[in-house]
Structure 1
């Protein structure tokens, strides 16, 4: 007997002020269990995100983190709506069904930048929506995954944060008081 390990994405966090869309691939098991974007305590997303806007430490409350993101014109979502996966690794994703990124962009036309958090997010966006005019009229960046798992190029938080800050500084400049 085969059991299904189908997992589903969470709804987007977005509002009319959103200018930057941060896209993961599919939340890991800890994030899905908590119903929180980047909910694993060791994920580097929130520390890096707060540094982008000049804050030293992320808010303790998840709700405050979401308010902080929205107040700075940032939205959160994923490129995969549903998939088969055991565990949390992107490499284990099978039968991926894409989210409706073009539909989100139509509904929130102020989004001007799409930031893909890691290669799987970028590859999924490119494969399913790369030729869509709504995606093509935005700037799309592929940044190192904020997963705590080291890569050859980005060993830990500091190296990943440096790459994110360098790539995003032209887009967040002047938005510290948004």
Structure 2
């Protein structure tokens, strides 16, 4: 009799923050998906709409640029990226499959960003876990619809919500 396939999954670790100390806006995802972890790049999955959404907010064609230039443009505009989850077990890329989650010390991280005005959460999982990890804060907390293709809302519907980020950067 053959052994049953293992239901255990490897521990996935998030990426390093893409941030400068003068960031005004921090956008937090939950944990990068498989394509992003394999590429070691935020939002590497081609169907993820993150770069189109944030590019629209900034008025820049981020999705058309190479990854290094995307990050450079974000940082020039004082936007930082990171994830709520430091490590977790997950099969595939869906947040619903997250197990044994270890969140980051977000309160300590944001304390090191003295110009920070707001934290935006890319999706419900990031918002739920991120709000808990941040605790009481005077920062504006903004929940956004997920840029993931698992969120089947139309791009224009998502974009209207993401447009709220402009007020933080003006």
* Alignment check: 8 A CA contact 1:52 1:172 kept: no
SS, match of residue 58 in structure 1 = helix
Deviation at 1:100, TM superposition (A): 1.6
1:73-92 matched pairs, under 5 angstroms? 73-92=78-97
Residue in structure 2 matched with residue 176 of structure 1 by the alignment:
none
Equivalence map 1:106-121=2 (5 Å): 106-121=111-126
- Segments of structure 2 that go 5 or more residues without pairing to the other structure are 1-5
1:98 to 95, 103, 109: 103
SS in 1 for 2:108: helix
**Candidates 140, 165, 168, aligned match of 1:168:** 165
Q: 1:16 to 1:126 in 2, by over 3 A?
A: closer
CA distance in 1, matches of 2:57, 2:133: 29
Q: Which moved more, 1:24-33 or 1:119-128?
A: 119-128
Separation (CA, whole Å) in 1 of partners of 2:157 and 2:19: 28
Deviation at 1:156, TM superposition (A): 2.3
CA displacement 1:46-79 (0-9 Å, x = unmatched) = 0111111112453431000000100000000000
Whole-angstrom CA distance in 2 between matches of 1:169 and 1:4: 39
Q: Which residue of 1 aligns with 2:13?
A: 8
Which of structure 1's runs of 4+ aligned residues deviate more than 6 A?
A: none
2:148 counterpart residue number: 147
Where does structure 1 lack aligned partners over 5 or more consecutive residues?
174-178
User: After superposition, where does 1:33-44 map in structure 2 within 5 Å?
Assistant: 33-44=38-49
Is residue 29 of structure 1 aligned with residue 34 of structure 2?
A: yes
SS in 1 for 2:127: helix
RMSD between superposed Cα atoms in Å = 1.5
* Distance across 2 between alignment mates of 1:145 and 1:2: 27
